[in-house]
Chain A
């Protein structure tokens, strides 16, 4: 059973990104109004804005949290060609200890990009404090804070030129695999080749190398996300392009860290697990739940759709939610749909190809 709630965000313009911290108790939003807001979950379950500040001199595209082990740290990137690292400073006043307004300080401003910085993501915790950015001119930059206690020092470790305008990136969260990044491009020219590139860090030559290009995806990619790994022996990658795609990457070498093939790149068996065009037009965002078992996507049709796989790895739409949170009148069948949630079509997984059509019809609206 799901309960929907609307939060008045008080942003003066379009919100571009929402991001939860590791514990799901804090949330950061960023907007075209050039501000970031931080929201804290109060004890009675309400979201309360505890900080709002102007961060950039352009639209803020993305905001992301570092692992709490490194403190309360945010990174943001903007149209103004910069990315910034922010740290919360508490104890400015007595009120702050009582969860009033908290204060965020800019610890670093990363100004290497010549164009709009379109995405920023902290690396997985086991890699230390690393930060990847990508920009509209196609450069992926990887920064590292050598001293995790000093967030003002970030050294630019690597620059990867992807040769395509980058729109999004995602770290592979797997502990077992070598550091891996997937980068998506919003280049609209289909002849420019695959729009998702996968890079891997090679320990021997200490460089990032391109290991794969997903040639099947030639349309502009708006968002990309690796699923939380959770001990799976393969990697799941969701891609938002003109449809939703779910790709599995299975590393062909059994021991990725074995020295049997020094300097060699990992080989992958790449399989498309699902492709959904229910959003009917562009898909903007994809997001995995904590176990990587349910995928949420949003698209031009103004809906948020949830996808889940059954035992046989057949992915299926399990819920459709109206993006504006409104109650739909379409179909007139909405009365029976109220109690239905994540599980409303459970056990009804059809044949592997049948679900492409049936998804939206069978699932009910989810308010």
Chain B
């Protein structure tokens, strides 16, 4: 151990001060970097700032170079006098010193005091008593039969009288010099360990006046100062260096020798409870003052501080070896460490000093455990503290799907049963989802109008264009042959051209699915175009007009677009006029300049619909690849285009290809092609895989119920996942509405009756409703006694015996639910009945505890349990209201209301 070995100590009283010592003692102040402070470069250097870590710097406050041959330093543990240090020297002297020359600190007259052993030898270790801070223990090398552990009293000032009473013989009070020069004390308070070497020592924190000493390379000894004749406890070991007592557990001790650390339990002191072996010689060990059983170890020539979290367990016998969790901390690159010190109060903070004197302020992070809540907030535990981070839903398209789904569910997404297109409004940020709902709405409308029939295999309710074209939906079940029609593209324009279009019944149905039902209804196209123009989609409107062979209309549209753009000062669209001009110059002649120019400039047009228009006009062969593969177009327009212009073979081929691509991408627009069929499930599966939006998939598929698809395991899984998700968010009302909605569409999933209340006497249902249905089955019961004689609601409608009494009011119970209906069975006003049934007050309903089976009127019970926990029935100690712990979780809606 070289004399210049650097070590570091935190101040026991000032949380931001520490010192380093080697050949001199330097006092530093550690500061957090304030915001915007310059911490690098020459300016920082000028301020004397030393960077300690990302967010702390150190400032040198003072240096003490007075003392030579320093071996060890101990900082006075109390607040006053501050900066009081004890320094152990190579000659065995212990000097009290401080920083600064002025005597301002020295109001106690302690600074400069020296404690001198009888014979000079090296001082190995120093330790202040943690509580009785006047006591300072020094461990020295061996000198013949002299004692090696001396406990000094720093307040010793006077010579005790020479009277040596036996019990006071140990206590020598020594006088100070006569006032001039450094005061010397040569009589220690206690002397221990005659003719031994004290290599390290430490005070026990909780047991007063007990001292642990590592001696002679052989023993760990525990001394009690009240009986110094012999040690209280001895362990035979070579690990006698760096004895350290766990500040939290007084019985746990660590010591080391060479590359081995031993952990001891003073209650079982014969052998170490645990031995840790390191590759290199150990330089320092220290228990964390802020954590139970956390030991830090640094080794010579190693850049790593190792931390051992020693697990303790109260059970188990001798075979029960404590376990450790090992961690390595490397903060200074590859530079090897000289020493480290735990911060006395800041959790897991330590100061590390390298052999070159570089310091690092380090906070060791514990294993952070973390957990997401279903509400997109996250909680993690850092050490002993918890941190909770809540997400506030902001309405952006960038939100995670979990936040989006929750928001949509809250708004009633998917529950718009009458107008399913309104679901689209709940997802304004997602155009694919909007397209999906609008299409489903369209198809439902067509079906309701009888324009599309639900036929064919599987009973799919939402067929896609693909199956329509393939003839899976018509009566014959085969692909229909299309008729070729010749249209004139530029009617009214001088040049006459002929364009081949194809028509068949299936094709026109497919066009309807695409929203292009323009054939039969003359106004439909005009309406559609006007709507698009209204939405500002002039390019699309123009293209659709053109694809429907209305070139003049297309030019008008573009002109409108250009004018409106000019009005709204929405620059950039003015060139629609130019486009219109180009369009009007259309010629069918091959090899004309117009064709050549349009063909080449087409690719420079920004808008996909404009590109598609010129691609259509300049098409050489009837392939239309440039239109069909223009990915900027809406799928419905591409498909409709294909259904108009492609011959049968090519059309099927194209639709297959496009479907395949859409399914693979999980693109919701592709539902137009697949419909809600097997293909549609595949598509939605890929959609769910890439977006996790199980909500849309589930809600869309519910629309297709009942059919074969609803039996698909994937669909079942989506439905169950989504219901569980709603439950998890406590959106119970939404979940229930969803179930109701699903039952309406698919009555097969109707849940069974949950409760059946029967009469105590006859065992028949007390519900008049049941009675009514019973009568329907030909067992007239209640009405046998004549209809004017209304059965009392407080009696069993079956046997007319009274129903049980309410535990509180002691009246016979009875609920009017359904009785109105029973009383006037001739009036066939079902709606009226349901209204009246709802009007029955909840307060008069039966309620009972499932556990003790006592009950009464709901109102009375609620009142009772407002003030009581136990059942109102005599001698029944059932805590009815508290039994249902699940019920204590309030629903999300209630929380919102609150």
Which of these binds chain B: A155-163, A195-203, A323-331? A323-331
With A231-B721, A343-B396 known as contacts, the answer to whether A58 contacts B312 (CB < 8 A) is yes
With A7-B386, A290-B725, A296-B370 known as contacts, the answer to whether A323 contacts B688 (CB < 8 A) is no
Question: Would you call B888 an interface residue if the criterion is a C-beta within 8 Å of the partner chain's C-beta atoms?
Answer: yes
Please name all residues of chain B whose beta carbon is closer than 8 Å to the beta carbon of A18 when the two chains form the complex: 369-371, 379-381, 386
Please name all residues of chain A whose beta carbon is closer than 8 Å to the beta carbon of B718 when the two chains form the complex: 231
Query: Judging by beta carbons under 8 Å apart, are A72 and B886 in contact?
Result: yes
Query: Judging by beta carbons under 8 Å apart, are B885 and A324 in contact?
Result: no
Of all chain B residues, the one with the shortest Cβ separation from A240 is B367
Shortest distance from the beta carbon of A155 to any chain B beta carbon, whole Å: 25
Which of these binds chain A: B400-408, B557-565, B759-767? B400-408
Shortest distance from the beta carbon of B698 to any chain A beta carbon, whole Å: 8
Please name all residues of chain B whose beta carbon is closer than 8 Å to the beta carbon of A234 when the two chains form the complex: 689
B interface residues, how many (CB within 8 angstroms)? 89
Partner of A72, one of B327, B392, B885, B898: B885
Please name all residues of chain A whose beta carbon is closer than 8 Å to the beta carbon of B54 when the two chains form the complex: 328-330
Chain B 280-311, CB-CB to A under 8 Å as 1, else 0, gives: 00000000000110000000000000000101
Partner of A302, one of B35, B363, B385, B691: B363
Of all chain A residues, the one with the shortest Cβ separation from B730 is A23
Of all chain B residues, the one with the shortest Cβ separation from A9 is B386
Query: Judging by beta carbons under 8 Å apart, are A68 and B886 in contact?
Result: yes
Question: Would you call A29 an interface residue if the criterion is a C-beta within 8 Å of the partner chain's C-beta atoms?
Answer: yes
Query: Judging by beta carbons under 8 Å apart, are B721 and A29 in contact?
Result: no
Shortest distance from the beta carbon of A117 to any chain B beta carbon, whole Å: 12
Please name all residues of chain B whose beta carbon is closer than 8 Å to the beta carbon of A11 when the two chains form the complex: 384
A231→B402 CA distance, assembly (Å): 14
Partner of A291, one of B396, B405, B886: B405
Partner of A231, one of B371, B717, B728: B717
With A6-B385, A43-B898, A329-B35 known as contacts, the answer to whether A311 contacts B402 (CB < 8 A) is no
Please name all residues of chain A whose beta carbon is closer than 8 Å to the beta carbon of B694 when the two chains form the complex: 230-231, 291
A365→B388 CA distance, assembly (Å): 15
Question: Would you call B226 an interface residue if the criterion is a C-beta within 8 Å of the partner chain's C-beta atoms?
Answer: no
Chain B 871-885, CB-CB to A under 8 Å as 1, else 0, gives: 000000001011101
Please name all residues of chain B whose beta carbon is closer than 8 Å to the beta carbon of A232 when the two chains form the complex: 688-689, 692
Please name all residues of chain A whose beta carbon is closer than 8 Å to the beta carbon of B692 when the two chains form the complex: 230, 232, 291-293
Within 8 A of A (CB), among B706-731: 713-714, 717-718, 720-721, 724-725, 727-730
A343→B371 CA distance, assembly (Å): 20
Please name all residues of chain A whose beta carbon is closer than 8 Å to the beta carbon of B292 when the two chains form the complex: 12-13, 32-33
Query: Judging by beta carbons under 8 Å apart, are A285 and B365 in contact?
Result: no
Classify the secondary structure of A's interface with B: loop
Which of these binds chain B: A92-100, A207-215, A266-274, A350-358? A92-100
Within 8 A of B (CB), among A24-55: 24-25, 27, 29, 31-33, 43, 47
Question: Would you call B850 an interface residue if the criterion is a C-beta within 8 Å of the partner chain's C-beta atoms?
Answer: no
Question: Would you call B323 an interface residue if the criterion is a C-beta within 8 Å of the partner chain's C-beta atoms?
Answer: yes
Partner of B399, one of A43, A298, A343: A343
A interface residues, how many (CB within 8 angstroms)? 96
Shortest distance from the beta carbon of A4 to any chain B beta carbon, whole Å: 5
Shortest distance from the beta carbon of A71 to any chain B beta carbon, whole Å: 6
Query: Judging by beta carbons under 8 Å apart, are B371 and A230 in contact?
Result: no
Please name all residues of chain B whose beta carbon is closer than 8 Å to the beta carbon of A43 when the two chains form the complex: 895, 898
Partner of A290, one of B399, B402, B730: B402
Question: Would you call A315 an interface residue if the criterion is a C-beta within 8 Å of the partner chain's C-beta atoms?
Answer: no
Shortest distance from the beta carbon of B34 to any chain A beta carbon, whole Å: 8
A302→B883 CA distance, assembly (Å): 43
Please name all residues of chain A whose beta carbon is closer than 8 Å to the beta carbon of B312 when the two chains form the complex: 58
Shortest distance from the beta carbon of A336 to any chain B beta carbon, whole Å: 13
Query: Judging by beta carbons under 8 Å apart, are B372 and A298 in contact?
Result: no
Question: Would you call A278 an interface residue if the criterion is a C-beta within 8 Å of the partner chain's C-beta atoms?
Answer: no
With A57-B313, A289-B400, A290-B376 known as contacts, the answer to whether A12 contacts B384 (CB < 8 A) is yes
Query: Judging by beta carbons under 8 Å apart, are A68 and B889 in contact?
Result: yes
Question: Would you call A301 an interface residue if the criterion is a C-beta within 8 Å of the partner chain's C-beta atoms?
Answer: yes
Query: Judging by beta carbons under 8 Å apart, are A9 and B384 in contact?
Result: yes
With A5-B390, A231-B717 known as contacts, the answer to whether A27 contacts B313 (CB < 8 A) is no
Shortest distance from the beta carbon of B169 to any chain A beta carbon, whole Å: 45
Question: Would you call B776 an interface residue if the criterion is a C-beta within 8 Å of the partner chain's C-beta atoms?
Answer: no
Question: Would you call A148 an interface residue if the criterion is a C-beta within 8 Å of the partner chain's C-beta atoms?
Answer: no
Shortest distance from the beta carbon of A305 to any chain B beta carbon, whole Å: 10
Shortest distance from the beta carbon of B578 to any chain A beta carbon, whole Å: 32
Of all chain B residues, the one with the shortest Cβ separation from A367 is B389
Query: Judging by beta carbons under 8 Å apart, are B882 and A96 in contact?
Result: yes
Query: Judging by beta carbons under 8 Å apart, are B881 and A3 in contact?
Result: no
Partner of B402, one of A284, A291, A301: A291
Please name all residues of chain A whose beta carbon is closer than 8 Å to the beta carbon of B36 when the two chains form the complex: 332
Query: Judging by beta carbons under 8 Å apart, are A288 and B372 in contact?
Result: yes
Chain A 215-235, CB-CB to B under 8 Å as 1, else 0, gives: 000000010000001111110
Please name all residues of chain A whose beta carbon is closer than 8 Å to the beta carbon of B388 when the two chains form the complex: 4-7, 47
Of all chain B residues, the one with the shortest Cβ separation from A28 is B371
Please name all residues of chain B whose beta carbon is closer than 8 Å to the beta carbon of A296 when the two chains form the complex: 370, 372, 378, 380
Query: Judging by beta carbons under 8 Å apart, are A1 and B394 in contact?
Result: yes
A328→B33 CA distance, assembly (Å): 10
Question: Would you call B506 an interface residue if the criterion is a C-beta within 8 Å of the partner chain's C-beta atoms?
Answer: no
Shortest distance from the beta carbon of B240 to any chain A beta carbon, whole Å: 30
Shortest distance from the beta carbon of B243 to any chain A beta carbon, whole Å: 24
Shortest distance from the beta carbon of A62 to any chain B beta carbon, whole Å: 9
Question: Would you call A276 an interface residue if the criterion is a C-beta within 8 Å of the partner chain's C-beta atoms?
Answer: no
Query: Judging by beta carbons under 8 Å apart, are A342 and B366 in contact?
Result: no
Please name all residues of chain B whose beta carbon is closer than 8 Å to the beta carbon of A13 when the two chains form the complex: 291-292, 384
A346→B383 CA distance, assembly (Å): 32
Question: Would you call A277 an interface residue if the criterion is a C-beta within 8 Å of the partner chain's C-beta atoms?
Answer: no
Partner of B366, one of A14, A69, A222, A293: A14
Shortest distance from the beta carbon of A231 to any chain B beta carbon, whole Å: 4
Within 8 A of B (CB), among A304-336: 304, 308, 311, 313, 321, 323-325, 328-330, 332
**Chain A CB within 10 Å — which of B323, B889, B898 has the most?**
B889
**Chain B CB within 10 Å — which of A97, A222, A230 has the most?**
A230
Question: Would you call B869 an interface residue if the criterion is a C-beta within 8 Å of the partner chain's C-beta atoms?
Answer: yes
Partner of B725, one of A25, A29, A230: A230
Please name all residues of chain A whose beta carbon is closer than 8 Å to the beta carbon of B721 when the two chains form the complex: 175, 229-231
Partner of A20, one of B55, B323, B373, B729: B373
Please name all residues of chain A whose beta carbon is closer than 8 Å to the beta carbon of B697 when the two chains form the complex: 231
Query: Judging by beta carbons under 8 Å apart, are A290 and B882 in contact?
Result: no
Query: Judging by beta carbons under 8 Å apart, are A3 and B392 in contact?
Result: yes
A229→B716 CA distance, assembly (Å): 13
Please name all residues of chain B whose beta carbon is closer than 8 Å to the beta carbon of A31 when the two chains form the complex: 384
Query: Judging by beta carbons under 8 Å apart, are A346 and B898 in contact?
Result: no
A138→B371 CA distance, assembly (Å): 25
Shortest distance from the beta carbon of B174 to any chain A beta carbon, whole Å: 45
Query: Judging by beta carbons under 8 Å apart, are A94 and B869 in contact?
Result: yes
Query: Judging by beta carbons under 8 Å apart, are B717 and A342 in contact?
Result: no
A282→B366 CA distance, assembly (Å): 11
Partner of A287, one of B371, B394, B714: B371
Query: Judging by beta carbons under 8 Å apart, are A22 and B720 in contact?
Result: no
Query: Judging by beta carbons under 8 Å apart, are B323 and A79 in contact?
Result: yes
Query: Judging by beta carbons under 8 Å apart, are B389 and A3 in contact?
Result: yes
Question: Would you call A300 an interface residue if the criterion is a C-beta within 8 Å of the partner chain's C-beta atoms?
Answer: yes
Please name all residues of chain B whose beta carbon is closer than 8 Å to the beta carbon of A342 when the two chains form the complex: 391, 398-400, 403
Besides A68-B886, A329-B34, 11 more A-B contacts (Cβ < 8 Å) are A2-B390, A6-B388, A7-B387, A25-B730, A230-B688, A232-B688, A284-B369, A290-B372, A290-B728, A324-B382, A346-B398
- Chain B interface residues (CB < 8 Å from chain A): 32-37, 54-55, 291-292, 309, 311-316, 323, 327, 363, 365-392, 394, 396, 398-403, 405, 685, 688-692, 694, 697-698, 713-714, 717-718, 720-721, 724-725, 727-730, 869, 879, 881-883, 885-886, 888-889, 895, 898
13 of the cross-chain contacts (CB-CB < 8 Å) are A6-B386, A11-B384, A14-B367, A18-B370, A18-B371, A20-B373, A72-B885, A292-B692, A300-B365, A324-B363, A328-B54, A328-B55, A330-B54
The 10 closest A-B pairs by CB, nearest first: A91-B882, A302-B365, A91-B879, A298-B368, A15-B381, A24-B373, A346-B398, A343-B398, A58-B313, A57-B314
